[in-house]
Chains A and B, each alone.
Chain A
Amino acid sequence: MTVARGHARRGAAIAFLSPAMAVIVLFVAVPIALTFWISLHDWSMYTPLTQMTWRGLGNYADLLHSDDFLNALGNTLVYVVLVLVTTVPLALALGMLLYFPKTAGKAAARAALFSTYVIPTVAIAIVWGALYAPDYGPISQALGALGIDSPAWLSDPETALLSLVIFHVWQMTGYYTILVIAGLTQIPDDVYEAARIDGAGFWRQTFSVTLPLLRRTTTFIVLIAAINAIQVFDPVYILTQGGPAESTTVLSYAIQRAAFQNGMAGQASAMAFSLLLVLVAVAGVVLAAMRRRTAAEGRS
């Protein structure tokens, strides 16, 4: 390891670090503190910060009684849970499908899967709006051909949030699948050889070798997928604007709307800071669970 000595190297370290650190401190760290500070005030966003009026924890107390906030929180929770229970198992299955069998077309499949991740969300959400369209859309037509009555998807409060979940799963599963494949490359071949010698078949190998050895990767994917789902904004803005009947108003959409359309920056900040606390708690629980498991494995 290089040991930095002398003024020249210290000067270099400061010069190299300061551009990145200046941006991160000024535009990430300071705003986190400011979010909390603003959340303790009433503020319209477009007046100077000095004209805020102190509310203490009043904004937070209001949130607990606000139907809008509780609705957004509930929608976000449903959205995140539905995304997690579908993307994570799907990514694990697809990762194994695209890693193990020796067949042609795997590279093409990987590329196709990952392509959904690089296309602008705004552009592809617009396309999904057309796919979901009741009369002119291919989904309802295909379901009709199969003799299934197509739901109204985005225009029905019962199915709108689910439609956004399906879009999210379609968009993000490829990315998580690549992460699974990355994890699979870390499992040495001789583990499988040993399992085969012991007479383990495909399913036995999957559940006794592959999945346990992928636990770190899986935990990471759960965490990333939860964080990505919890902040969904673009498709809501493009496809539903939170409707119909507020059925797709998720937290990030509610925050942006409260601040930029309703001029309630204090309340928006209280929602934003609550979101951050939830996120830190979730990350803490997931990471602690992972550490405890690793520790338990170390002892046995």
Chain B
Amino acid sequence: MRRTARAATALALGLVILVPLFPLYWMVISALKGPEELQKAPPTWFPSHVTFSAFGEVFQAVPFGGAFANSVLIAGVSTLSVLVTSVMAGFVFAKYRFRGRDLIFWSVVATMFLPPIVTLVPLYWLVSTMGLADSYLGVMLPWLANAFGIFLMRQFIADVPDELIEAARLDGASEGRIVWQIVTPLLRPALVSLAIFAFVFYWNNFLWPLSILQSDDKFPVVLALSRLLSYSTSVQYQNVVMAGALIASVPTIVVFLLAQRVFVQSISRTGVKG
């Protein structure tokens, strides 16, 4: 009885590892196949002849290198901005008392659940009226701060002892100094996980760049990838598309693997307090 239960658990665990990873495996092997092998039906489950040519072709088919750089720029700047604005706002919501504080805070938190599609049309109008359609700034501006970051930072800053802050004030530290030199260093795990969340979100964000950008030299990598797909629907080009998908995925996978433990911890943390 115990043995069957243990076997069932092992089998289930095996599936839980295999099923999520199988599409990734298929992405990699398809990127490594040549055009002839891709046209085989039924497909081969392991490339009989490994070729890396698709990884070169993807950069010729669309401006993929530039798109990659664009994504680094857009996701990088947005992430930095979210970290800074969230720490500042989180500090105010956690440590200052003023009338309407909780009402404002919870209204901000409610926007966390707003699907972006609801405000897409007026957002497009606003940003293009500001003259920022089809620009990097236009892609980034509406996302330079977000409710999730503010919520996360407030939860963590609330745990910083008040005595520490009071002591700093008695020593004559300015409020800015308290935030950046006393509170922020205590937030390192929370900041790491917010940075990952934000980076992954901005790197993967598709709907807004799709709506606001026209020129392909400003496309982030996911947009370039969707263009690449529409140029090469035929199965013999699948290796090129898969190589593109793989390159587009690598940064988020790397970031996730580097900081996986912090990531999962902070989900638990927000679950506790939220």
Contact = CB atoms under 8 A, between A and B. Distances in A.
B156 to A, nearest CB: 15
B85 A20 contact: yes
A124 B92 contact: no
A209 interface: no
A4 B97 contact: yes
B229 A113 contact: no
Contact of B245 (A123, A135, A224, A268): A123
A118 interface: yes
Nearest to A129: B229
B69 interface: no
Nearest to A234: B206
A12 B242 contact: no
A26 interface: yes
Given A2-B96, A121-B206, A131-B26, A272 B245 contact: no
A16 B95 CA distance: 12
A12 B175 contact: yes
B115 A231 contact: yes
Contacts of A123: 27, 222, 225, 244-246, 248-249
Interface of A: 1-4, 8-9, 12-13, 15-17, 19-24, 26-32, 34-35, 38, 45, 49, 94, 97-98, 101, 103, 105-106, 108-116, 118-124, 126-128, 130-131, 133, 135-138, 141, 144, 170, 174, 178-179, 181-183, 185-186, 217, 220, 223-224, 227, 230-231, 233-234, 237-238, 251-252, 255-256, 259-260, 265, 268-269, 272-273, 275-276, 279, 283
Interface in B143-183: 143-147, 150, 162, 165-166, 174-176, 179
Nearest to B125: A49
B136 interface: no
- Considering residues B10, B117, B256, B267, which has the most beta carbons from chain A within 10 angstroms of its beta carbon? B117
B207 A256 contact: yes
B131 interface: no
Contacts of A34: 119, 121-122, 125-126
19 contacts: A8-B174, A20-B88, A27-B123, A28-B147, A31-B126, A35-B118, A94-B16, A101-B9, A105-B14, A105-B17, A109-B13, A111-B260, A119-B252, A120-B248, A126-B225, A170-B23, A224-B113, A237-B226, A256-B120
Contacts of A35: 118-119, 121-122
B193 interface: no
Contact of A19 (B85, B267, B274): B85
B64 interface: no
A114 B221 CA distance: 22
B226 to A, nearest CB: 6
Contacts of B40: 136
A275 B120 CA distance: 13
B147 A24 contact: yes
A28 B148 CA distance: 13
A35 B122 CA distance: 6
B43 A138 contact: yes
A179 B256 contact: no
A30 B211 CA distance: 19
Interface string B256-269: 11001001100110
B16 A130 contact: no
User: Which 10 residue pairs of A and B lie closest in terms of their CB atoms, listed nearest first?
Assistant: A34-B122, A231-B115, A12-B175, A31-B119, A182-B268, A27-B142, A16-B88, A182-B271, A135-B41, A123-B245
Interface of B: 6, 9-10, 12-14, 16-17, 19-21, 23-24, 26-27, 30, 38-43, 45, 84-86, 88-89, 91-92, 95-98, 104, 108, 111, 113-126, 129, 141-147, 150, 162, 165-166, 174-176, 179, 200, 203-204, 206-207, 210-211, 221-222, 225-226, 229, 235, 238, 241-242, 244-246, 248-249, 252-253, 255-257, 260, 263-264, 267-268, 271-272, 274
A118 B165 contact: no
A130 B30 contact: yes
Given A3-B97, A16-B92, A109-B17, A128 B126 contact: no
Given A103-B13, A122-B248, A272 B117 contact: yes
B268 A114 contact: no
Nearest to B27: A127
Contacts of A105: 10, 13-14, 17
A138 B45 contact: yes
A252 B121 CA distance: 12
Contact of A126 (B10, B165, B229): B229
Contact of B264 (A20, A127, A178, A220): A178
